[in-house]
Amino acid sequence: MRLVREVEPFSGASKLPDPPPHKKRIRYAPQRPFPAYRYVPGSGLPHPVNDPAGSLFHAGGAPAVEPWTPHIWPYIPDWLYGVDLFNHWYFWEAHEAWEGLWQVVDKTRPPAVFVQSLIQLSAALLKVHLGSVGGATGLWSSAQQRLTAVAAEHKELMGLRPKAVLKAYTSYFAPLRKPVLPALDGHVPLLVLDL
């Protein structure tokens, strides 16, 4: 017997637009410029990391990320830059900035779990843009589980309130229960750091 797996239709990889204006959309790492483009898989743009024409390409590989602890978050450039990228809808690039941080810490501890939840959240928003209900649902579900676990242990972590992030995105992703994609518009919650 041959199993047939239904594949969600691909709605196309169009360019991600600029996010709508928002008074709280500030820069936490203003010294680091944004990439030349927002990468969307399948869009035909050069892969940011693997292609020499990519916006984040580094000859010889990406710079090494130093191990870190959450109490020094205001001094972790990749953390701050990742928040900037996320808030300005560079979802793939935010994931990439945070991935390096996640790789160098104990994956079982709350800081790593929190960073991983934000990586998944960023990927879920990219799936919203790509029109993938299944992809957005799966990634949001994983992010939600991790955010819930971190919120149970920490009122504040790395300048964010995990419970508030969880609440904002639970509301934003509520249409997925129908299953319908939420709009990628001014209702996408920002990550606002407590500086």
Q: Would you state the pLDDT for residue 43? A: 82
Q: Would you state the pLDDT for residue 81? A: 97
What is the Cα 120 distance to its own chain's centre? 6
Do residues 93 and 126 touch, judged by C-beta distance below 8 A?
Answer: no
Helix ranges restricted to H, 16-155:
77-87, 91-103, 110-130, 133-153
Q: Would you state the pLDDT for residue 60? A: 65
Contacts (Cβ under 8 Å, ≥6 apart) of 32: 77, 81, 84
Could you tell me the pTM of the whole model?
0.90
pLDDT tens for each residue of the chain, 195 residues long: 333 333 344 445 678 889 998 888 999 999 999 999 999 988 888 888 888 887 777 766 667 788 899 999 999 999 999 999 999 999 999 999 999 999 999 999 999 999 999 999 999 999 999 999 999 999 999 999 999 999 999 999 999 999 999 999 999 999 999 999 999 999 999 999 998
Angle at 130 between CA 29 and CA 52, to 5 degrees: 55
Torsion over CA of 59, 124, 192 and 93, rounded to 10 degrees?
10
Q: Would you state the pLDDT for residue 13? A: 60
Query: Nearest CA to 90 among 32, 46, 56, 39?
Result: 39
Distance, in Å, from the CA atom of 6 to the CA atom of 78, rounded to the nearest integer, reads: 38
User: Domain 70-177 belongs to what topology?
Assistant: Hyaluronidase domain-like (1.10.3450)
Q: Would you state the pLDDT for residue 121? A: 98
In a 13 Å sphere around the CA of 87, the CA atoms on its Cβ side amount to: 21
Torsion over CA of 15, 179, 172 and 18, rounded to 10 degrees?
10
Could you tell me the residue ranges of all domains in the chain? Answer: 70-177
What is the Cα 27 distance to its own chain's centre? 16
